[in-house]
């Protein structure tokens, strides 16, 4: 990680004092994130991967509109607040940005109880209930093909066509599984046009929730608002299930005790807490299907990236994307039974 580069960028935010410290954080598959201490305050400095997020201004506009809206509704929790650099802008050299570090918090990569699931789902439910009256036309899609699953399928087929012999051989069982279960995708593609458009978070996985460091079931904030976009609210429910009902870490390929039904039920109950009256029947009737499809799509995305030689998701070891795909497939298999 580029600590030296991060320090140079930070100098354009405030003058560096004796207590300055900077460490690279492991979180996230796409951007570089640094925790900075300076003048007795803590900040998060991020270098955004511009090949994936080419338009940071769109993302920041979404974040600011949502934050302002939540403030107007007296939202009780922390919001993302982007801080200006010395030029008055919240973006430096097209790819850097800075925020306050949210203190007394801790993050998790893996769930530890059904209660934690319930509390996180209630938190997301509350976040959504406060956004239902914000006009979706105010929020732009920073990643136009993010929810386009025909395109995701097309990218996958291309990656199979162009993969190296070795990677193809290594991933063959997973490729076959995804081809054999393409019907899940078809079911979704038929349903999607009927679903109401709402503003979604787009990445409510467990590592994007900050928990109270004294109480691992209490949530302080939902972070990573980069994928705020118009879409179906089922995406957020389903991505939460993908992450919170998974009893293993996202790159653990082992089989056995992959999925927790207890966690799933806690998520459903929590998610409906503030939304039960507001969601349409077509949304409430398709929660489980959405979970299956979002897990299927995530398996497809990890496998596509493995076959493409890991150009999208950061990896720490060579077959990490294949392991991630295996993990999603094992989870999906439990849901299909
Ligand atoms: C990516 O960078 P990160 O970890 O916030 C991805 C999500 C995936 C997630 C899987 C823009 O998020 O869609 O669900 O990894 N973000 C983008 O863990 O592709
Ligand atoms: Mg994200």
Q: What is the pLDDT of residues 92-128, one digit of tens each?
A: 999 999 999 999 999 999 999 999 999 999 999 999 9
Closest-lying ligand 1 atom to the alpha carbon of residue 202: 13
Residue 1 pLDDT? 63
Query: What letters, b where the CB count within 10 A reaches 16 and e where it falls short, cover 144-179?
Result: eebbebeebbebbeebbeebeeebeebbeebbebbe
Residue 337 pLDDT? 76
The C-alpha R_g of the chain, in whole angstroms, comes to: 20
Q: What is the CATH number of the domain that holds 34?
A: 3.30.200
Domain interval for residue 265:
114-336
Residue 27 pLDDT? 85
Query: Is 118 found in the same domain as 96?
Result: no
Domain count along the chain: 2
Query: Is 135 found in the same domain as 52?
Result: no
Query: Is 29 found in the same domain as 122?
Result: no
Dihedral of CA 139/34/48/143: which sign? negative
Rounded Cα–Cα distance for residues 329 and 89 (Å): 43
Query: Is 281 found in the same domain as 194?
Result: yes
Residue whose CA lies nearest to ligand 1 atom number 14? 203
| Residue 224 Cβ contacting ligand 1 at under 6 Å | yes
Query: Is 173 found in the same domain as 67?
Result: no
Q: How far is the CA of 241 from the centre of ligand 2 (A)?
A: 16
What 3-state DSSP class applies to 218?
strand
What 3-state DSSP class applies to 307?
helix
- Residues of the chain with pLDDT below 50 are none
Query: Is 232 found in the same domain as 124?
Result: yes
Query: Is 52 found in the same domain as 154?
Result: no
Q: What is the CATH number of the domain that holds 176?
A: 3.90.1200.10
Query: Is 119 found in the same domain as 92?
Result: no
Residue whose CA lies nearest to ligand 1 atom number 1? 29
pLDDT, one tens digit per residue, over 281-305 is 999 999 999 999 999 999 999 999 9
């Amino acid at each position: 990680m580029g600590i030296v580069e991060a320090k140079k960028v930070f100098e354009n935010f405030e003058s560096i004092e004796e207590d300055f410290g900077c460490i690279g954080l492991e979180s996230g598959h796409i951007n570089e994130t640094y925790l900075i201490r300076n003048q007795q305050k803590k900040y998060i400095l991020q270098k955004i991967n511009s090949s994936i997020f080419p338009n940071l201004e769109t993302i920041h506009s979404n974040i600011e509109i949502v934050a302002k809206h939540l403030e107007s509704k007296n939202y009780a929790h922390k919001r993302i607040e982007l801080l200006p650099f010395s030029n008055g802008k919240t973006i430096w050299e097209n790819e850097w940005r800075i925020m306050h570090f949210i203190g007394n918090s801790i993050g998790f990569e893996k769930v530890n109880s059904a209660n934690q699931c319930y509390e996180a789902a209630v938190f997301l439910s509350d976040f959504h209930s406060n956004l239902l009256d914000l006009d979706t036309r105010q929020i732009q899609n920073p990643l136009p093909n993010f929810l386009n699953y025909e395109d995701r399928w097309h990218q996958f087929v291309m990656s199979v066509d162009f993969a190296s012999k070795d990677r193809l051989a290594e991933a063959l069982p997973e490729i076959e599984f995804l081809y054999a279960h393409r019907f899940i995708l078809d079911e979704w593609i038929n349903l999607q046009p009927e679903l109401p458009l709402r503003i979604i978070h787009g990445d409510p996985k467990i590592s994007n929730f900050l928990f109270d460091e004294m109480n691992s079931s209490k949530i302080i904030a939902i972070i990573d608002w980069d994928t705020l976009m118009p879409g179906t609210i089922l995406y957020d429910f389903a991505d939460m299930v993908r992450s919170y009902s998974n009893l293993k870490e996202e790159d653990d390929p082992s089989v056995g005790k992959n999925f927790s039904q207890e966690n799933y039920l806690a998520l459903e109950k929590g998610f409906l807490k503030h939304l039960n009256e507001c969601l349409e029947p077509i949304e409430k009737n398709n929660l489980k299907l959405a979970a299956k499809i979002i897990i299927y799509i995530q398996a497809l995305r990890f496998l596509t990236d493995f076959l493409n030689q890991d150009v999208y998701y950061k990896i720490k070891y060579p077959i990490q994307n294949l392991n991630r795909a295996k993990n999603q497939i094992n989870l999906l298999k439990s849901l299909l039974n």
